[in-house]
């Protein structure tokens, strides 16, 4: 099934989509609440039994759910190779990358809908997209083994982890992870597609073989498959739950696929071609079976709040 949260005639609603028709869920029910109650399939089937003439084209698609947290991994070797050249001038993938499926926490409150305009963040002149798949947690879990983790994934969605590359690079030097280079926007959607919808695309190694493409202003510029990731989602969930909980609605990003961001192109070709995103550009990310996100970049704030540190003496107080 495909679940949506949408805006229609000024109100926010949840629904299930089939053949382009939106079947509204009961008033007051959210997609997240159904995930938490393990009731997606039951309530979705009940909604599909009620006729509807509302089409997807008539509504504004919002993020399918508001995740409690978003962990974003770096799961594709091809991507980390290109970005390492672009951002860190490295000619190889760092050895540390191979040791574990590393991730960072990004902002769950910065989600945009599948077709929303996305403003350039303040102070950014090197804006980039990142094509990913997000796995949505359906059941709480801790210290899970990979073979247990599959039962904790309720579904998947397309995930654009927007990046302000010029803000991101100096933040890396502090070793604390990203802040203003990453927390301003992510696009989630267009639907939460339940795991059973893609299970037949699983290869013998446990990877989902789903084609991933990106177009910029209508021109295809990148293509990969989710099966080229170096870790399965089950392995990533297992790593995330080591000494920690995942809860219903949490999202785990796959990491950017090969040729899934501009920075990767820049590292491979040695110049900023295609150039950084600017207002008027339209980015469309598509994942087979999951759908498409298509966002237009628009101008953002021009004022930049940048408080400088006060230099303090190092003499201890008496």
Q: Tell me which residue of 311, 306, 307 sits closest to 121, measured CA to CA.
A: 306
- CB-count exposure of residue 107 (10 Å: 0-12, 13-18, 19+): middle
Q: What tens digit of pLDDT does each residue of 235-247 get? A: 999 999 999 999 9
Which letter does DSSP use for residue 316 in this model?
A: P
Tokens of 229: 């990731």
Q: What tens digit of pLDDT does each residue of 249-260 get? A: 999 999 999 999
pLDDT at res. 85? 79
pLDDT at res. 126? 97
Provide the H-helix boundaries in the chain: 31-36, 40-48, 77-88, 146-149, 165-172, 233-240, 262-269
Backbone angles phi, psi at 233, to 5 degrees: -60, -35
Which letter does DSSP use for residue 26 in this model?
A: P
User: Does the pLDDT at position 87 exceed 70?
Assistant: yes
Q: Tell me which residue of 179, 215, 199, 177 sits closest to 295, measured CA to CA.
A: 215
User: Cis (ω within 30 of 0) for the bond into 274?
Assistant: yes
pLDDT at res. 43? 98
How many other CB atoms are there within 10 angstroms of residue 128's CB atom?
A: 25
H/E element holding 129? none
The overall average pLDDT reported for the chain is 95
Start-to-end CA distance of the chain, whole Å, equals 67
Following DSSP, what letter does each residue of 79-94 receive, concatenated?
Answer: HHHHHHHHHH--SS--
Band (pLDDT 50/70/90 cuts) for residue 36 is very high
CATH topology of domain 70-298: Fumarylacetoacetate hydrolase; domain 2 (3.90.850)
Nearest-angstrom CA–CA distance, 56 and 53? 10
Per DSSP (E only), the strands in 195-270 are 211-216, 219-225, 245-246, 251-253
Backbone angles phi, psi at 195, to 5 degrees: -60, -30
Q: Tell me which residue of 36, 21, 257 sits closest to 136, measured CA to CA.
A: 36
Q: Where are the domains of the chain?
A: 2-62, 70-298
Band (pLDDT 50/70/90 cuts) for residue 84 is confident
Q: What tens digit of pLDDT does each residue of 159-218 get? A: 999 999 999 988 888 888 889 999 999 999 999 999 999 999 999 999 999 999 999 999
Nearest-angstrom CA–CA distance, 62 and 113? 4
Nearest-angstrom CA–CA distance, 239 and 218? 37
Q: What tens digit of pLDDT does each residue of 95-131 get? A: 999 999 999 999 999 999 999 999 999 999 999 999 9
Q: Tell me which residue of 63, 52, 66 sits closest to 7, measured CA to CA.
A: 63
Per DSSP (E only), the strands in the chain are 2-8, 11-18, 21-24, 60-62, 70-73, 103-106, 111-112, 118-119, 127-128, 131-137, 141-142, 153-160, 163-164, 186-194, 211-216, 219-225, 245-246, 251-253, 282-287, 291-298
Nearest-angstrom CA–CA distance, 182 and 121? 10
User: Does the pLDDT at position 310 exceed 90?
Assistant: no
User: Does the pLDDT at position 317 exceed 70?
Assistant: no
Tokens of 18: 């089939």
């Amino acid at each position: 099934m495909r679940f949506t949260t949408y805006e229609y005639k000024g109100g926010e609603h949840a629904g299930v989509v089939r053949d382009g028709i939106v079947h509204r869920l009961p008033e007051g029910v959210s997609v997240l609440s159904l995930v938490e109650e393990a009731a997606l399939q039951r309530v979705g089937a009940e909604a599909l039994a009620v006729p509807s003439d509302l089409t997807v084209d008539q509504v504004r698609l919002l993020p399918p759910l508001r995740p409690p947290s978003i962990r974003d991994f770096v799961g594709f070797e091809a991507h980390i190779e290109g970005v390492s050249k672009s951002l860190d001038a490295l000619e190889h993938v760092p050895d540390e990358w191979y040791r574990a499926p590393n991730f960072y926490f990004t902002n769950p409150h910065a989600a945009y809908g599948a077709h929303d305009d996305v403003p350039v963040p303040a102070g950014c002149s090197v804006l980039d997209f990142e094509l990913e798949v997000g796995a949505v947690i359906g059941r709480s879990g801790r210290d899970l083994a990979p073979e247990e983790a599959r039962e904790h994934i309720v579904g998947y969605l397309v995930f654009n982890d927007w990046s302000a590359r010029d803000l991101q690079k100096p933040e890396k030097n502090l070793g604390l992870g990203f802040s203003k280079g990453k927390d301003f926007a992510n696009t989630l959607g267009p639907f939460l597609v339940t795991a059973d919808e893609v299970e037949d695309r699983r290869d013998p190694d446990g990877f989902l073989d789903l084609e991933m493409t990106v177009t910029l202003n209508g021109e295809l510029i990148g293509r990969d498959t989710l099966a080229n990731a170096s870790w399965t989602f089950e392995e990533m969930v297992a790593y995330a739950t080591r000494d920690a909980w995942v809860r219903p609605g949490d999202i785990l990003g796959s990491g950017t696929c090969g040729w899934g961001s501009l920075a990767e192109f820049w590292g491979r070709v040695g110049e900023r071609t295609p150039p950084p995103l600017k207002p008027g550009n339209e980015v469309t990310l598509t994942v087979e079976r999951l759908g498409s996100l298509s966002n237009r970049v628009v101008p953002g704030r021009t004022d930049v709040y940048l408080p400088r540190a006060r230099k303090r003496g190092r003499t201890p107080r008496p």
